[in-house]
Amino acid sequence: MDKLLDWDRSLLLWINYPAGQNGVIDKFVFDITDSNLLKGGIFLAFYWWLWFYRDGIKRREVVVTLSAAIITAILSRGLQVALPFHPRPIHTPAIGMHMPYGVDREMLNTFSSFPSDHAMLFFALSVPIWWRSRWLGAAAMVWTVLIICVPRVYLGYHFPSDFVAGAILGVVLMIVLCRLIGRMRLPDRVVDFAAVHPVFYAIAFVLTFELALLFADLRHLMLDVIRLGHMLVA
C-alpha cells in the first residue's frame, strides 16, 4: 500500500511540476479543464450523430448507452459522498505540489476526490464507442486521459489514483448496465416514443446537456435548496 501511495504522489508531482512557473500555460490548462465543450460536448455530440446516422437497432443502442451513462454519473457522485472523504491535492499542503496561477485552494474543498466522477462517466462513454470501432474507442479513451484527466491532476484537483479507480468503475458499470438495460423493454419504448412525439427531442436535449455537465447545474441547485431549507428551519 505504501508503494502505491508513493507512486500516486510521485506521478502527481511529475505532472504538476511545471505549474506555477508560467501564467499563460497555467491559464491554458485551466481553460481546458473548465471547458464543457472539450469534455461532455464532444462525447454527447458523437451520440447525437449516431442517433441520426442509423435508425432502428442503432437508436436502441444509443438509448441503452445513455441510460447507463446517466446511472453511472449518479453513482459516481453517490460514491464520492458515501465513501470516506478523500481530500484533493490542493487541500493537502504536505504533498508539496506547485500551485498553478489562478487556482484557489478553497476550490472544491467540500467535495471528495475519490473516485473521479469525470473518469467514471467519460471512460464509461468510451466503452460503446470501442464496441463500434476500436480506433474510435481508443481515441475516446486517449482523449479522456489527455484532455480530461491529466489537466485536472496538473491543477491539483485529483490524484492519479482517483482517475484509475474512476476509469475501472466506469468501464465495469457501463458493461454491466448495458447488458441489464439491453434486456428491458424500456429502450424499445423510448425509440417508439421518439418516432411519434417530437417533444422527445426537447427532453433528450436537456438530459444530454446535463449529462455533459455531469448534472452540475442540478446538483448545485439542489444544494442551494437544501441550504435554503436549513436556513428557513433554523
pTM for the model: 0.89
Cis peptide before 160 (omega within 30 of 0): no
Q: How far is C-alpha 52 from the chain's CA centre?
A: 24
Size (the chain), residues: 234
DSSP secondary-structure letter at 99?
P
Q: Is 156 left (phi over 0), alpha (psi -120 to 50) or beta?
A: left
Q: Which CATH number is 2-233 given?
A: 1.20.144
Nearest one of 114, 117, 113, 112 to 170, comparing CA atoms: 117
Contact 95, 12 (CB under 8 A): yes
CB 87 within 8 A of CB 8: no
Of all residues in the chain, what percent carry a pLDDT higher than 90?
A: 56
| Residue 113 per-residue DSSP state | -
What is the structure's pLDDT at 106? 73
Q: Are 104 and 60 in contact (CB under 8 A)?
A: no
User: φ, ψ for residue 107 (rounded to 5)?
Assistant: -65, 135
Q: How far, in Å, are 76, 144, 150, 218 from residue 141 at the CA level?
A: 18, 5, 12, 27
pLDDT value of residue 189: 93
Burial label, 221 (beta-carbon count in 10 A; 0-12, 13-18, 19+):
exposed
DSSP for 69-129 reads: HHHHHHHHHHHHHHSPP---GGG-GGG-PPPPTT--TTTTTTS--SS-HHHHHHHHHHHHH
Query: Residue 55 carries which DSSP code?
Result: -
Per-domain residue ranges of the chain: 2-233
Q: pLDDT tens digit string along 82-114? A: 888 888 888 888 888 888 888 877 776 677 889
Q: What's the chain's Rg over C-alpha atoms?
A: 19
pLDDT of residue 234: 67
Averaged pLDDT, groups of 10, the chain, 234 residues long = 76 90 90 90 92 75 94 91 86 84 74 89 95 92 95 92 94 96 92 92 93 84 78 76
